[in-house]
Amino acid sequence: MQLSIINGSPRGASGNTEKLLSHFINGFMETEGNSVELIHSIGDRPLFEKSKELFLRSKNLLIAFPLYVDAMPGSVKELFEALQECSYKNPDLSLMFMIQCGFPETHHTRFVARYCEKLSSKLGAKFNGTICKGGCEGLSVQPQALVEKVFKGFYQLGKSYGQSGKLDKTLLDKLAYPEQLSHENIKQVIPMVNSFLWDYLLKKNNALDKSFDKPYKL
């Protein structure tokens, strides 16, 4: 099976979307004969010629992006607009999406996931599912065991997809955990993220004392 991937992350090859994709790809490549072609749409702006060409000649395409203000980044919306001229020109295409967000709960990604399914029909492609995953900000500062679990989830999903051509519902649900958090869990998670991620980065930049600055205040 051949799989094409467009990574729409504005951070390109250095972002978390790429890290997660690499584990999905490792799993996918476990099946003999499988091959992957990955491009970064951020390097393909403003005309997105490579992305359009890939859309038109692929049988299986995965479009991956991080959640920006509860939806696709503006630069990914640019890509969707560029793909409009390819609508209904590749009816054999199976289209999938991968959405990751920094919030610990996967729930935040579900709203734009609904859009992605609708977009597939507007593009005249067959919708083959969306991989949703929360808790993906600061993968480099999260406890190693947690990160390994996320990577393993992507690997297993990629492996299963590489064999069947379908995203396994059980694996998708397992990967998406936690979909939402209890009040008790939120109380534990918030101070951890605020100190281990944000305070760490603010201190590194000597900006902790300025963190609540209001530069646009009248």
H or E element at residue 158: helix 144-164
x-or-dash pattern for another protein, window 44-73, by CB under 8 A? ----------------------x-xxxxxx
Can you tell me whether residue 49 is helix, strand or coil?
helix
Q: Torsion-angle region of residue 79: left (phi > 0), alpha (psi -120 to 50) or beta?
A: alpha
- Minimum CB separation of residue 32 from another protein in Å reads 36
Task: Determine which residue in the list 55, 80, 97, 151 makes contact with another protein, applying CB under 8 A.
Answer: 80
Choices 7-15, 54-62, 90-98, 141-149 (CB under 8 A): range interacting with another protein: 7-15
Binding-residue pattern over the window 103 to 132 for another protein, x denoting contact by CB under 8 A? xxx-xx--xx-xx--xx--x----------
Best CA proximity match to 98, nearest among 68, 67, 65: 65
Query: Minimum distance between the CB of residue 134 and another protein, rounded to whole angstroms?
Result: 9
State the pairing for strand pair 94-100/126-133: parallel
- CA separation for the pair 36, 197 (Å, rounded): 33
What is the torsional sign of CA 84, 86, 91, 95? negative
Binding site for another protein (CB under 8 A): 9-11, 15, 66, 68-75, 77-78, 80-81, 83-84, 103-105, 107-108, 111-112, 114-115, 118-119, 122, 180-181, 183, 186-187, 189-190, 193-194, 198, 201-202, 204-205, 207, 210-218
